[in-house]
Amino acid sequence: MVSMAAATTLVLPGWSAAQQSPQLNLQRVKLNAGMHVIDAQVALTPQERQTGLMLRKDMPQTEGMLFVFEQAGEQCFWMKNTLLPLTAAFVADDGTIVNTVDMKPETTDSHCSAKPVRYVLEMNKGWFAKKGIKPGSKLSGPMFGGPR
């Protein structure tokens, strides 16, 4: 069964884009992808994950959003009410990128992890490819046992 309890993706009945504004004040964490530093907002709660990057009109190239789930599972995302083209990296507990997927704005196409994961990192579309970061690459940061 596919878990649609993910972020930029899930919309609750009665949710309206007009009722919401972008979430800009989430807790942040520094992640490293090789020599690249990412300033990631952290979506921890079901509500934070559900809203994700919806309604954001821009995002600096060094920023992203890390979705943290309570347990590993097949994580699936869609882009309803998300205005930015994004790439999602599905990340294992040790920081290894399992797979990445480019996602088009304002679509309901489902994009899923290739295996169960607890973490998903969304960045501007093409960021991972431009930096040579691909499946098998490792992220480091506090949740992956790296520097805090």
What is the pLDDT averaged over residues 84-90? 98
pLDDT in tens, 60-86: 999 999 999 999 999 999 999 999 999
The domain that contains 84 carries what CATH number? 2.60.120.1140
Report the pLDDT value the prediction gives residue 147, as an integer from 0 to 100.
52
Nearest Cα residue to 101 out of 76, 84, 64: 76
Query: Is residue 128 situated within a structural domain?
Result: yes
Q: Please indicate, yes or no, if residue 137 is contained in any of the structural domains.
A: yes
Residue 1 in any domain: the answer is: no
pTM comes to 0.85
Residue 146 DSSP symbol:
S
Number of domains in the chain: 1
Which domain covers residue 122, as residue numbers?
Answer: 23-144
CA 61 to the chain's CA centroid: 14
Read out DSSP for 36-73?
Answer: EEEEEEEE-SHHHHHHTTTT-----TTEEEEEEEEEEE
Q: Is the pLDDT of residue 25 over 90?
A: no
